[in-house]
């Protein structure tokens, strides 16, 4: 798994702040039967890379619960705040992308790989 923060304008608008995500194989990700009916997809096409991102959100509470892309169909991008543990005790950013959009007031994280755009994954 990869821990990533994204500072792009789309994450800012979608999540209300920079996105904190865990990347994992899509094969390891499943919605529970009861939650499947509540998930809808917003097709975000106004991305910097021009690659569509499917932002899946809960129609009950509005939270973004999963992001997928056509660019890399093997990866599930999971907002860490939606996990029951919230990443407490294990999540810390390894990679920051879209750093050209990072706000001055945001913390500097020691040891992260910083990219002005999006890094290429697998
Ligand atoms: Zn983003």
Is 120 among the domain residues?
Answer: no
Distance 50 CA to ligand 1 centre (A): 12
Which are the contacts of 57, defined by CB distance < 8 A and separation ≥ 6?
39, 40, 41, 42, 63, 64, 65
* Distance from Cα 48 to the centre of ligand 1, integer Å: 9
- 16 domain-assigned: yes
Number of domains present in the structure of the chain: 1
% of residues, the chain, pLDDT over 70: 98
The DSSP line for 32-71 is -HHHHTTEEEEEE---TT---EEEEEETTT--EEEEEESS
The answer to whether position 122 is within a domain reads: no
The rounded distance, in Å, linking the Cα atoms of 50 and 69 is 11
pLDDT for 25 beyond 60:
yes
Owning domain of residue 64: 2-114
| Average pLDDT estimate for 17-32 | 92
The domain that contains 97 carries what CATH number?
A: 2.170.150.70
What confidence score (pLDDT) does residue 121 get?
A: 65
Calpha distance 14→65 (Å, rounded): 11
- pLDDT of 119 over the 90 cut: no
Domain annotation covers residue 121: no
> Ligand 1 mean position to 33 CA, how many Å?
28
Q: Give the predicted TM-score (pTM) of the model.
A: 0.87
């Amino acid at each position: 798994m990869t821990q990533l923060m994204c500072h792009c304008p789309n994450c800012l608008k979608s999540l209300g702040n920079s996105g904190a995500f865990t990347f994992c194989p899509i094969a390891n990700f499943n919605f529970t039967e009861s939650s499947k009916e509540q998930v809808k997809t917003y097709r975000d096409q106004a991305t910097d890379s021009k690659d569509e991102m499917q932002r899946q959100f809960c129609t009950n509470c509005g939270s973004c619960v999963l992001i997928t892309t056509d660019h890399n169909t093997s990866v599930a991008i999971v907002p860490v705040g939606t996990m029951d543990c919230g990443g407490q005790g294990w999540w810390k950013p390894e990679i920051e992308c879209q750093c050209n959009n990072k706000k001055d007031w945001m913390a500097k994280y020691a040891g992260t790989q910083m990219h002005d755009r999006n890094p290429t994954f697998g």
